[in-house]
A and B are shown apart, each in its own frame.
Chain A
Amino acid sequence: MPPAFVELLQFLFSGITSGAIYALVALGFALIYNASHVINFAQGEFVMLGGMITWLLLSHGIDLPLAIAGAVAATVVVGLALEKLAIEPVRDANVVTLIIITIGAGIFLRGLTSVTLGKDLHAVPAFSGNEPLELLGATIMPQSLWILGVTAAVVLALHLFFHFTILGKAILATSHNRLAARLMGVNVNFVLLLSFGLSALLGAVAGILIAPITATHFEVGIMLGLKGFAAAILGGLGSGLGAIVGGLLLGLIESLGAGYISSDYKDAMAFVVILGVLFLMPQGLFGKRGTERV
Protein backbone atom coordinates (compact mmCIF):
# COMPACT_ATOMS: atom_id res chain seq x y z
CA MET A 1 0.00 0.00 0.00
CA PRO A 2 1.36 3.49 -0.82
CA PRO A 3 1.98 5.45 2.37
CA ALA A 4 -0.29 8.28 1.28
CA PHE A 5 -3.17 5.83 1.00
CA VAL A 6 -2.45 4.28 4.39
CA GLU A 7 -2.34 7.74 5.89
CA LEU A 8 -5.68 8.64 4.34
CA LEU A 9 -7.17 5.37 5.58
CA GLN A 10 -5.89 6.11 9.06
CA PHE A 11 -7.59 9.51 9.02
CA LEU A 12 -10.79 7.95 7.74
CA PHE A 13 -10.82 5.36 10.54
CA SER A 14 -10.37 7.93 13.26
CA GLY A 15 -12.85 10.27 11.58
CA ILE A 16 -15.56 7.63 11.40
CA THR A 17 -14.93 6.62 15.00
CA SER A 18 -15.41 10.09 16.41
CA GLY A 19 -18.13 10.70 13.81
CA ALA A 20 -20.14 7.80 15.23
CA ILE A 21 -19.92 9.34 18.68
CA TYR A 22 -21.02 12.74 17.35
CA ALA A 23 -23.89 10.98 15.58
CA LEU A 24 -25.10 9.44 18.85
CA VAL A 25 -24.96 12.80 20.61
CA ALA A 26 -26.69 14.47 17.65
CA LEU A 27 -29.44 11.86 17.73
CA GLY A 28 -30.01 12.76 21.37
CA PHE A 29 -30.42 16.42 20.38
CA ALA A 30 -32.77 15.49 17.53
CA LEU A 31 -34.96 13.28 19.73
CA ILE A 32 -35.60 15.94 22.33
CA TYR A 33 -35.92 18.66 19.71
CA ASN A 34 -38.60 16.69 17.90
CA ALA A 35 -40.62 16.00 20.99
CA SER A 36 -40.41 19.44 22.52
CA HIS A 37 -38.55 21.94 20.28
CA VAL A 38 -36.08 22.29 23.13
CA ILE A 39 -32.36 22.26 22.45
CA ASN A 40 -31.00 20.38 25.42
CA PHE A 41 -27.64 21.93 26.22
CA ALA A 42 -27.22 19.35 28.99
CA GLN A 43 -26.89 16.64 26.34
CA GLY A 44 -23.10 16.72 26.69
CA GLU A 45 -23.47 16.09 30.41
CA PHE A 46 -25.30 12.83 29.66
CA VAL A 47 -22.19 11.80 27.72
CA MET A 48 -19.97 12.82 30.61
CA LEU A 49 -22.14 10.99 33.17
CA GLY A 50 -22.05 7.79 31.12
CA GLY A 51 -18.26 7.73 31.18
CA MET A 52 -17.80 8.95 34.76
CA ILE A 53 -20.32 6.58 36.34
CA THR A 54 -18.84 3.63 34.44
CA TRP A 55 -15.44 4.57 35.85
CA LEU A 56 -16.91 4.92 39.35
CA LEU A 57 -18.54 1.49 39.28
CA LEU A 58 -15.44 -0.11 37.78
CA SER A 59 -13.30 1.39 40.52
CA HIS A 60 -15.56 -0.31 43.06
CA GLY A 61 -14.73 -3.65 41.51
CA ILE A 62 -17.91 -4.10 39.54
CA ASP A 63 -17.62 -6.00 36.25
CA LEU A 64 -17.60 -3.99 33.02
CA PRO A 65 -20.99 -5.18 31.64
CA LEU A 66 -22.69 -4.46 34.95
CA ALA A 67 -20.91 -1.12 35.30
CA ILE A 68 -22.09 -0.15 31.82
CA ALA A 69 -25.67 -1.14 32.60
CA GLY A 70 -25.53 0.78 35.87
CA ALA A 71 -24.12 3.90 34.23
CA VAL A 72 -26.75 3.86 31.49
CA ALA A 73 -29.56 3.35 34.03
CA ALA A 74 -28.29 6.15 36.28
CA THR A 75 -27.95 8.57 33.37
CA VAL A 76 -31.46 7.75 32.16
CA VAL A 77 -32.79 8.51 35.65
CA VAL A 78 -30.99 11.89 35.49
CA GLY A 79 -32.56 12.56 32.09
CA LEU A 80 -36.04 11.70 33.33
CA ALA A 81 -35.59 13.85 36.43
CA LEU A 82 -34.42 16.79 34.30
CA GLU A 83 -37.56 16.60 32.18
CA LYS A 84 -39.91 16.10 35.12
CA LEU A 85 -38.46 18.80 37.38
CA ALA A 86 -37.16 21.47 35.03
CA ILE A 87 -38.71 21.17 31.58
CA GLU A 88 -42.28 20.01 32.09
CA PRO A 89 -43.24 22.87 34.45
CA VAL A 90 -42.29 25.47 31.81
CA ARG A 91 -42.90 23.61 28.61
CA ASP A 92 -44.44 26.55 26.77
CA ALA A 93 -41.78 29.08 27.77
CA ASN A 94 -39.81 30.76 24.98
CA VAL A 95 -36.79 29.15 23.38
CA VAL A 96 -34.14 31.24 25.14
CA THR A 97 -35.63 30.50 28.57
CA LEU A 98 -35.59 26.78 27.86
CA ILE A 99 -32.02 26.98 26.58
CA ILE A 100 -30.94 28.65 29.80
CA ILE A 101 -32.69 26.05 31.93
CA THR A 102 -30.84 23.24 30.18
CA ILE A 103 -27.57 25.18 30.44
CA GLY A 104 -28.23 25.60 34.16
CA ALA A 105 -28.85 21.87 34.39
CA GLY A 106 -25.55 21.25 32.63
CA ILE A 107 -23.65 23.49 35.05
CA PHE A 108 -25.37 21.78 37.97
CA LEU A 109 -24.53 18.30 36.73
CA ARG A 110 -20.90 19.27 36.09
CA GLY A 111 -20.71 20.80 39.57
CA LEU A 112 -22.30 17.75 41.16
CA THR A 113 -19.88 15.44 39.38
CA SER A 114 -16.81 17.46 40.31
CA VAL A 115 -17.91 17.52 43.96
CA THR A 116 -18.70 13.83 44.21
CA LEU A 117 -16.26 12.26 41.76
CA GLY A 118 -13.49 14.82 41.72
CA LYS A 119 -11.80 16.82 38.97
CA ASP A 120 -9.27 14.21 37.87
CA LEU A 121 -8.94 12.58 34.51
CA HIS A 122 -9.99 8.93 34.74
CA ALA A 123 -9.10 6.07 32.44
CA VAL A 124 -11.61 3.40 31.53
CA PRO A 125 -10.21 0.15 30.07
CA ALA A 126 -11.07 -0.75 26.49
CA PHE A 127 -13.81 -3.35 26.14
CA SER A 128 -11.59 -5.91 24.45
CA GLY A 129 -7.99 -4.94 24.87
CA ASN A 130 -5.65 -2.45 23.25
CA GLU A 131 -4.15 -4.74 20.61
CA PRO A 132 -4.47 -2.70 17.37
CA LEU A 133 -5.85 -4.53 14.37
CA GLU A 134 -4.30 -4.06 10.96
CA LEU A 135 -6.44 -3.28 7.95
CA LEU A 136 -4.95 -2.51 4.52
CA GLY A 137 -1.83 -1.25 6.23
CA ALA A 138 -3.62 1.10 8.60
CA THR A 139 -4.34 0.24 12.21
CA ILE A 140 -7.64 0.40 13.98
CA MET A 141 -8.27 -0.07 17.70
CA PRO A 142 -10.76 -2.73 18.78
CA GLN A 143 -12.59 -0.01 20.72
CA SER A 144 -13.28 1.78 17.42
CA LEU A 145 -14.96 -1.36 16.14
CA TRP A 146 -17.03 -1.45 19.33
CA ILE A 147 -18.04 2.15 18.72
CA LEU A 148 -19.05 1.52 15.12
CA GLY A 149 -20.86 -1.71 15.95
CA VAL A 150 -22.78 -0.37 18.92
CA THR A 151 -23.69 2.82 17.05
CA ALA A 152 -25.02 0.79 14.13
CA ALA A 153 -27.01 -1.41 16.50
CA VAL A 154 -28.45 1.61 18.32
CA VAL A 155 -29.43 3.27 15.05
CA LEU A 156 -31.11 0.06 13.88
CA ALA A 157 -32.93 -0.32 17.20
CA LEU A 158 -34.13 3.28 17.03
CA HIS A 159 -35.33 2.76 13.47
CA LEU A 160 -37.32 -0.32 14.47
CA PHE A 161 -38.67 1.46 17.53
CA PHE A 162 -39.93 4.48 15.59
CA HIS A 163 -41.43 2.57 12.71
CA PHE A 164 -42.78 -0.61 14.25
CA THR A 165 -43.97 0.17 17.77
CA ILE A 166 -47.02 2.12 18.85
CA LEU A 167 -44.93 4.13 21.30
CA GLY A 168 -42.39 5.06 18.65
CA LYS A 169 -45.11 6.13 16.29
CA ALA A 170 -46.71 8.21 19.04
CA ILE A 171 -43.43 10.10 19.46
CA LEU A 172 -43.19 10.71 15.72
CA ALA A 173 -46.80 11.87 15.62
CA THR A 174 -46.17 14.29 18.48
CA SER A 175 -43.16 15.75 16.74
CA HIS A 176 -45.21 16.40 13.60
CA ASN A 177 -48.19 17.96 15.32
CA ARG A 178 -48.48 18.10 19.07
CA LEU A 179 -52.12 19.18 19.18
CA ALA A 180 -53.29 16.56 16.71
CA ALA A 181 -51.37 13.88 18.60
CA ARG A 182 -53.03 14.95 21.84
CA LEU A 183 -56.44 14.81 20.18
CA MET A 184 -55.63 11.31 18.97
CA GLY A 185 -55.09 10.25 22.56
CA VAL A 186 -51.31 10.44 22.77
CA ASN A 187 -50.10 11.38 26.23
CA VAL A 188 -47.83 14.25 25.18
CA ASN A 189 -46.19 14.62 28.58
CA PHE A 190 -45.26 10.98 28.57
CA VAL A 191 -43.76 11.31 25.10
CA LEU A 192 -41.69 14.24 26.32
CA LEU A 193 -40.48 12.25 29.32
CA LEU A 194 -39.63 9.31 27.12
CA SER A 195 -37.64 11.45 24.69
CA PHE A 196 -35.49 12.78 27.53
CA GLY A 197 -34.98 9.24 28.82
CA LEU A 198 -33.98 8.00 25.37
CA SER A 199 -31.66 10.96 24.79
CA ALA A 200 -29.97 10.35 28.12
CA LEU A 201 -29.54 6.71 27.11
CA LEU A 202 -27.95 7.69 23.78
CA GLY A 203 -25.68 10.18 25.52
CA ALA A 204 -24.59 7.66 28.15
CA VAL A 205 -23.85 5.04 25.50
CA ALA A 206 -21.74 7.55 23.57
CA GLY A 207 -19.89 8.53 26.75
CA ILE A 208 -19.16 4.93 27.72
CA LEU A 209 -17.96 4.02 24.24
CA ILE A 210 -15.57 6.96 23.92
CA ALA A 211 -14.24 6.84 27.51
CA PRO A 212 -11.54 4.19 26.82
CA ILE A 213 -10.17 6.30 23.95
CA THR A 214 -10.19 9.81 25.40
CA ALA A 215 -10.41 9.04 29.15
CA THR A 216 -13.14 10.77 31.09
CA HIS A 217 -13.35 13.94 33.09
CA PHE A 218 -16.15 16.09 34.54
CA GLU A 219 -15.81 18.63 31.72
CA VAL A 220 -15.59 16.18 28.82
CA GLY A 221 -19.23 16.84 27.92
CA ILE A 222 -18.83 20.48 26.94
CA MET A 223 -17.03 20.07 23.61
CA LEU A 224 -18.78 16.79 22.80
CA GLY A 225 -22.14 18.44 23.43
CA LEU A 226 -21.32 21.42 21.21
CA LYS A 227 -20.06 19.19 18.40
CA GLY A 228 -23.10 16.95 18.71
CA PHE A 229 -25.26 20.06 18.40
CA ALA A 230 -23.23 21.13 15.37
CA ALA A 231 -23.75 17.69 13.83
CA ALA A 232 -27.49 17.85 14.48
CA ILE A 233 -27.67 21.28 12.82
CA LEU A 234 -25.45 20.18 9.95
CA GLY A 235 -27.84 17.36 9.14
CA GLY A 236 -30.92 19.52 9.64
CA LEU A 237 -32.37 19.86 13.11
CA GLY A 238 -34.87 17.15 13.96
CA SER A 239 -33.91 14.78 11.17
CA GLY A 240 -32.71 11.39 12.45
CA LEU A 241 -30.92 10.50 9.24
CA GLY A 242 -29.51 14.02 9.18
CA ALA A 243 -28.07 13.59 12.68
CA ILE A 244 -26.25 10.40 11.68
CA VAL A 245 -24.92 11.79 8.40
CA GLY A 246 -24.07 15.09 10.08
CA GLY A 247 -22.17 13.29 12.84
CA LEU A 248 -20.14 11.09 10.50
CA LEU A 249 -19.43 14.01 8.18
CA LEU A 250 -18.25 16.16 11.06
CA GLY A 251 -15.97 13.40 12.35
CA LEU A 252 -14.44 12.91 8.90
CA ILE A 253 -13.98 16.62 8.25
CA GLU A 254 -12.32 17.05 11.60
CA SER A 255 -9.96 14.15 11.16
CA LEU A 256 -9.03 14.99 7.56
CA GLY A 257 -8.73 18.68 8.40
CA ALA A 258 -6.48 17.94 11.35
CA GLY A 259 -4.40 15.55 9.25
CA TYR A 260 -3.99 17.59 6.08
CA ILE A 261 -4.52 21.20 7.11
CA SER A 262 -3.74 21.95 10.74
CA SER A 263 -4.00 19.84 13.86
CA ASP A 264 -3.99 23.06 15.92
CA TYR A 265 -7.38 23.88 14.48
CA LYS A 266 -8.96 20.43 14.80
CA ASP A 267 -11.65 21.68 17.17
CA ALA A 268 -12.39 24.68 14.98
CA MET A 269 -12.98 22.65 11.80
CA ALA A 270 -16.44 21.53 12.85
CA PHE A 271 -17.54 25.09 13.46
CA VAL A 272 -16.02 26.53 10.30
CA VAL A 273 -17.84 23.89 8.28
CA ILE A 274 -21.13 24.41 10.07
CA LEU A 275 -20.92 28.16 9.45
CA GLY A 276 -20.25 27.55 5.77
CA VAL A 277 -23.16 25.16 5.48
CA LEU A 278 -25.54 27.47 7.31
CA PHE A 279 -24.53 30.39 5.09
CA LEU A 280 -25.26 28.39 1.96
CA MET A 281 -28.09 26.17 3.21
CA PRO A 282 -29.83 27.83 6.15
CA GLN A 283 -31.89 24.70 6.87
CA GLY A 284 -29.01 22.22 7.12
CA LEU A 285 -28.46 19.34 4.72
CA PHE A 286 -31.68 17.46 5.37
CA GLY A 287 -33.84 20.08 7.07
CA LYS A 288 -37.37 20.83 6.01
CA ARG A 289 -37.68 23.82 3.75
CA GLY A 290 -41.01 25.48 4.27
CA THR A 291 -42.67 28.59 2.98
CA GLU A 292 -43.96 30.67 5.81
CA ARG A 293 -47.71 31.12 5.63
CA VAL A 294 -48.78 34.71 5.81
Chain B
Amino acid sequence: MSLLRVENLSIQFGGVQAIQELDFEISEGTIHSIIGPNGAGKTTLFNLITGLYRPSAGAIYLDDAQIAGKRPHDLARMGLSRTFQNLRIMMNMTAIENVMVGRHLHLNRNLLACMLRLPMITRADKAARKRCIELMDLVGLGGAIDADASALPYGALKRLEIARALASEPRLLLLDEPAAGLNARETKEIDDVIATVARAGVTVVLVEHDMKLVMGISDHILVLDHGRKLAEGTPDAVRNNPAVVAAYLGQV
Protein backbone atom coordinates (compact mmCIF):
# COMPACT_ATOMS: atom_id res chain seq x y z
CA MET B 1 0.00 0.00 0.00
CA SER B 2 1.25 3.45 -0.76
CA LEU B 3 2.26 5.71 2.11
CA LEU B 4 2.11 8.90 0.09
CA ARG B 5 -0.09 9.50 -2.92
CA VAL B 6 -0.03 12.64 -5.06
CA GLU B 7 -2.93 13.26 -7.42
CA ASN B 8 -3.18 15.85 -10.16
CA LEU B 9 -0.97 18.23 -8.15
CA SER B 10 -0.35 21.72 -9.58
CA ILE B 11 1.05 25.00 -8.30
CA GLN B 12 1.77 28.22 -10.08
CA PHE B 13 3.70 31.31 -9.08
CA GLY B 14 2.57 34.43 -10.91
CA GLY B 15 1.71 32.60 -14.12
CA VAL B 16 4.63 30.19 -14.01
CA GLN B 17 3.55 26.56 -13.71
CA ALA B 18 6.10 25.13 -11.28
CA ILE B 19 4.29 21.78 -10.91
CA GLN B 20 1.73 20.58 -13.44
CA GLU B 21 -0.83 17.83 -12.95
CA LEU B 22 1.57 15.53 -11.22
CA ASP B 23 0.57 12.00 -10.13
CA PHE B 24 2.73 9.50 -8.31
CA GLU B 25 2.79 7.14 -5.35
CA ILE B 26 5.41 6.21 -2.81
CA SER B 27 5.14 2.86 -1.12
CA GLU B 28 6.07 2.31 2.48
CA GLY B 29 9.58 1.24 3.32
CA THR B 30 11.20 2.21 0.00
CA ILE B 31 13.83 4.70 -1.04
CA HIS B 32 12.28 6.92 -3.64
CA SER B 33 14.37 9.41 -5.63
CA ILE B 34 13.16 12.47 -7.49
CA ILE B 35 15.53 13.68 -10.18
CA GLY B 36 15.42 16.23 -12.93
CA PRO B 37 17.30 19.22 -14.27
CA ASN B 38 17.52 22.45 -12.30
CA GLY B 39 14.17 24.21 -12.16
CA ALA B 40 12.27 20.98 -12.76
CA GLY B 41 10.25 21.62 -9.58
CA LYS B 42 11.84 19.14 -7.20
CA THR B 43 12.20 21.47 -4.22
CA THR B 44 8.78 22.98 -4.97
CA LEU B 45 7.34 19.48 -4.75
CA PHE B 46 8.99 19.00 -1.36
CA ASN B 47 7.59 22.33 -0.20
CA LEU B 48 4.13 21.23 -1.29
CA ILE B 49 4.36 17.88 0.44
CA THR B 50 5.65 19.36 3.71
CA GLY B 51 3.01 22.09 3.81
CA LEU B 52 5.18 25.14 3.10
CA TYR B 53 3.24 25.83 -0.08
CA ARG B 54 -0.46 25.44 -0.75
CA PRO B 55 -1.19 23.76 -4.10
CA SER B 56 -3.28 25.54 -6.74
CA ALA B 57 -4.98 22.25 -7.54
CA GLY B 58 -4.76 18.56 -6.75
CA ALA B 59 -4.42 16.50 -3.63
CA ILE B 60 -1.77 14.85 -1.48
CA TYR B 61 -2.68 11.81 0.61
CA LEU B 62 -0.74 10.41 3.51
CA ASP B 63 -2.33 7.06 4.47
CA ASP B 64 -5.44 8.16 2.56
CA ALA B 65 -5.75 11.33 4.62
CA GLN B 66 -5.77 14.47 2.51
CA ILE B 67 -2.86 16.65 3.73
CA ALA B 68 -2.51 19.36 1.08
CA GLY B 69 -2.77 22.77 2.74
CA LYS B 70 -2.13 21.53 6.26
CA ARG B 71 0.51 23.47 8.18
CA PRO B 72 4.01 21.98 8.46
CA HIS B 73 3.86 21.38 12.22
CA ASP B 74 0.66 19.40 11.80
CA LEU B 75 2.34 17.28 9.15
CA ALA B 76 5.29 16.72 11.46
CA ARG B 77 2.82 15.27 13.93
CA MET B 78 1.65 12.90 11.19
CA GLY B 79 5.18 11.61 10.67
CA LEU B 80 6.65 13.86 7.99
CA SER B 81 10.14 15.29 8.28
CA ARG B 82 12.61 16.87 5.90
CA THR B 83 15.97 18.55 5.36
CA PHE B 84 16.61 21.68 3.32
CA GLN B 85 18.72 22.19 0.24
CA ASN B 86 19.76 25.63 1.51
CA LEU B 87 20.61 24.82 5.09
CA ARG B 88 18.11 25.87 7.74
CA ILE B 89 20.27 25.53 10.82
CA MET B 90 19.55 27.34 14.09
CA MET B 91 22.85 29.17 14.26
CA ASN B 92 21.96 30.63 17.66
CA MET B 93 22.01 27.17 19.25
CA THR B 94 24.48 24.35 19.79
CA ALA B 95 24.58 21.31 17.53
CA ILE B 96 22.78 19.03 20.00
CA GLU B 97 20.15 21.69 20.71
CA ASN B 98 19.37 21.76 16.99
CA VAL B 99 18.75 18.04 17.09
CA MET B 100 16.71 18.37 20.29
CA VAL B 101 14.40 20.84 18.55
CA GLY B 102 13.72 17.92 16.24
CA ARG B 103 12.49 15.92 19.25
CA HIS B 104 9.99 18.65 20.12
CA LEU B 105 6.89 16.55 19.53
CA HIS B 106 8.13 13.73 21.75
CA LEU B 107 8.72 15.96 24.77
CA ASN B 108 6.41 17.47 27.37
CA ARG B 109 5.74 21.03 26.21
CA ASN B 110 3.51 22.03 29.11
CA LEU B 111 4.43 25.64 29.83
CA LEU B 112 3.83 25.48 33.56
CA ALA B 113 5.92 22.33 33.93
CA CYS B 114 8.71 23.97 31.93
CA MET B 115 8.52 27.22 33.92
CA LEU B 116 8.83 25.37 37.19
CA ARG B 117 11.36 22.92 35.79
CA LEU B 118 9.55 19.93 37.25
CA PRO B 119 11.65 16.79 37.62
CA MET B 120 9.82 15.15 34.72
CA ILE B 121 11.11 17.88 32.42
CA THR B 122 14.75 17.42 33.41
CA ARG B 123 14.40 13.64 33.25
CA ALA B 124 12.87 13.74 29.78
CA ASP B 125 15.49 16.24 28.61
CA LYS B 126 18.26 13.97 29.79
CA ALA B 127 16.78 11.02 27.92
CA ALA B 128 16.21 13.16 24.83
CA ARG B 129 19.79 14.33 24.95
CA LYS B 130 20.97 10.74 25.07
CA ARG B 131 18.87 9.81 22.05
CA CYS B 132 20.02 12.85 20.12
CA ILE B 133 23.64 12.00 20.84
CA GLU B 134 22.99 8.57 19.34
CA LEU B 135 21.55 10.21 16.25
CA MET B 136 24.54 12.52 15.97
CA ASP B 137 26.82 9.50 16.23
CA LEU B 138 24.83 7.89 13.48
CA VAL B 139 25.42 10.78 11.08
CA GLY B 140 29.05 11.04 12.17
CA LEU B 141 28.83 14.13 14.36
CA GLY B 142 29.69 12.40 17.62
CA GLY B 143 32.61 14.76 18.11
CA ALA B 144 30.62 17.96 17.80
CA ILE B 145 27.85 17.42 20.36
CA ASP B 146 28.11 20.68 22.28
CA ALA B 147 29.73 22.76 19.56
CA ASP B 148 27.98 25.94 18.50
CA ALA B 149 26.20 25.23 15.23
CA SER B 150 27.68 28.41 13.80
CA ALA B 151 31.17 26.98 14.31
CA LEU B 152 30.59 23.83 12.23
CA PRO B 153 31.74 23.41 8.62
CA TYR B 154 29.26 22.99 5.76
CA GLY B 155 29.52 19.21 5.55
CA ALA B 156 28.77 18.86 9.25
CA LEU B 157 25.74 21.12 8.96
CA LYS B 158 24.30 18.92 6.21
CA ARG B 159 24.55 15.95 8.57
CA LEU B 160 23.14 18.00 11.41
CA GLU B 161 20.03 18.63 9.30
CA ILE B 162 19.63 14.89 8.82
CA ALA B 163 20.06 14.20 12.53
CA ARG B 164 17.47 16.87 13.36
CA ALA B 165 15.03 15.43 10.83
CA LEU B 166 15.52 11.93 12.27
CA ALA B 167 15.00 13.12 15.84
CA SER B 168 11.27 13.49 15.22
CA GLU B 169 11.16 9.76 14.36
CA PRO B 170 9.46 10.29 11.02
CA ARG B 171 7.72 7.68 8.92
CA LEU B 172 8.43 9.64 5.78
CA LEU B 173 11.74 11.48 5.49
CA LEU B 174 12.36 13.92 2.65
CA LEU B 175 16.00 14.70 1.96
CA ASP B 176 16.67 17.67 -0.32
CA GLU B 177 20.10 17.20 -1.94
CA PRO B 178 21.81 15.73 1.12
CA ALA B 179 25.06 15.19 -0.77
CA ALA B 180 25.28 18.54 -2.54
CA GLY B 181 28.63 20.17 -1.89
CA LEU B 182 30.11 17.10 -0.22
CA ASN B 183 33.21 15.24 -1.41
CA ALA B 184 33.21 11.60 -2.48
CA ARG B 185 34.03 10.20 0.95
CA GLU B 186 31.37 12.30 2.68
CA THR B 187 28.83 11.35 0.02
CA LYS B 188 29.53 7.68 0.68
CA GLU B 189 28.93 8.25 4.40
CA ILE B 190 25.60 9.98 3.73
CA ASP B 191 24.76 7.08 1.44
CA ASP B 192 25.34 4.67 4.34
CA VAL B 193 23.23 6.77 6.68
CA ILE B 194 20.31 6.77 4.23
CA ALA B 195 20.56 3.01 3.83
CA THR B 196 20.60 2.53 7.61
CA VAL B 197 17.59 4.77 8.08
CA ALA B 198 15.66 2.96 5.36
CA ARG B 199 16.54 -0.39 6.92
CA ALA B 200 14.97 0.81 10.17
CA GLY B 201 11.67 1.11 8.28
CA VAL B 202 11.60 4.79 7.38
CA THR B 203 10.36 5.64 3.90
CA VAL B 204 12.89 7.97 2.28
CA VAL B 205 12.28 10.44 -0.52
CA LEU B 206 15.44 11.84 -1.99
CA VAL B 207 16.12 14.79 -4.26
CA GLU B 208 19.67 14.44 -5.47
CA HIS B 209 21.93 15.35 -8.36
CA ASP B 210 24.60 12.77 -7.62
CA MET B 211 23.56 10.05 -10.11
CA LYS B 212 25.86 7.46 -8.67
CA LEU B 213 24.25 7.80 -5.27
CA VAL B 214 20.73 7.88 -6.72
CA MET B 215 21.15 4.86 -8.98
CA GLY B 216 22.86 2.84 -6.30
CA ILE B 217 20.44 3.41 -3.47
CA SER B 218 16.96 3.97 -4.91
CA ASP B 219 14.15 1.44 -5.20
CA HIS B 220 12.15 3.76 -7.37
CA ILE B 221 12.90 6.93 -9.35
CA LEU B 222 10.63 9.75 -10.49
CA VAL B 223 11.97 12.03 -13.22
CA LEU B 224 10.59 15.58 -13.37
CA ASP B 225 11.02 18.09 -16.14
CA HIS B 226 9.40 21.53 -16.17
CA GLY B 227 7.07 20.47 -13.39
CA ARG B 228 5.77 17.42 -15.25
CA LYS B 229 6.45 13.74 -14.84
CA LEU B 230 8.85 12.65 -17.54
CA ALA B 231 9.35 9.05 -16.46
CA GLU B 232 9.05 6.78 -13.47
CA GLY B 233 10.31 3.32 -12.53
CA THR B 234 13.21 1.31 -11.21
CA PRO B 235 16.73 2.76 -11.66
CA ASP B 236 17.33 0.44 -14.61
CA ALA B 237 14.09 1.34 -16.31
CA VAL B 238 14.76 5.06 -15.87
CA ARG B 239 18.35 4.75 -17.01
CA ASN B 240 17.23 3.14 -20.25
CA ASN B 241 14.21 5.37 -20.86
CA PRO B 242 14.90 7.23 -24.14
CA ALA B 243 12.96 10.32 -23.04
CA VAL B 244 15.05 10.60 -19.89
CA VAL B 245 18.28 10.06 -21.75
CA ALA B 246 17.30 12.74 -24.24
CA ALA B 247 15.97 15.32 -21.85
CA TYR B 248 18.16 14.87 -18.86
CA LEU B 249 21.08 12.48 -18.86
CA GLY B 250 21.97 13.50 -22.37
CA GLN B 251 22.73 17.00 -21.23
CA VAL B 252 25.23 16.05 -18.56
* A residues apposed to B, CB below 8 Å: 291, 293-294
Contact = CB atoms under 8 A, between A and B. Distances in A.
B13 A294 contact: no
A136 B8 CA distance: 64
- 7 residue pairs, one from A and one from B, having the closest CB atoms: A294-B47, A294-B52, A294-B84, A291-B13, A294-B43, A294-B86, A293-B86
Nearest to A292: B52
A293 B52 CA distance: 10
Nearest to B88: A294
Interface residues of B, number: 8
Interface string B37-59: 00000010001000011000000
A99 to B, nearest CB: 19
Contacts of B47: 294
B40 to A, nearest CB: 16
Tell me what chain B mostly uses at the interface: helix, strand, loop, or mixed.
loop
Contacts of B84: 294
Contacts, number: 9
Given A294-B47, A294-B88, 7 more contacts: A291-B13, A291-B53, A293-B86, A294-B43, A294-B52, A294-B84, A294-B86
Interface string B93-129: 0000000000000000000000000000000000000
A293 to B, nearest CB: 8
9 contacts: A291-B13, A291-B53, A293-B86, A294-B43, A294-B47, A294-B52, A294-B84, A294-B86, A294-B88
Interface of B: 13, 43, 47, 52-53, 84, 86, 88
Nearest to A293: B86
A291 B48 CA distance: 13
A294 B84 CA distance: 7
A111 B115 CA distance: 42
Contacts of A294: 43, 47, 52, 84, 86, 88
A294 B83 CA distance: 10
A293 B84 CA distance: 11
Contacts of B86: 293-294
Nearest to B47: A294
Contacts of A291: 13, 53
A291 B44 CA distance: 12
B89 to A, nearest CB: 14
A283 to B, nearest CB: 15
Contacts of A293: 86
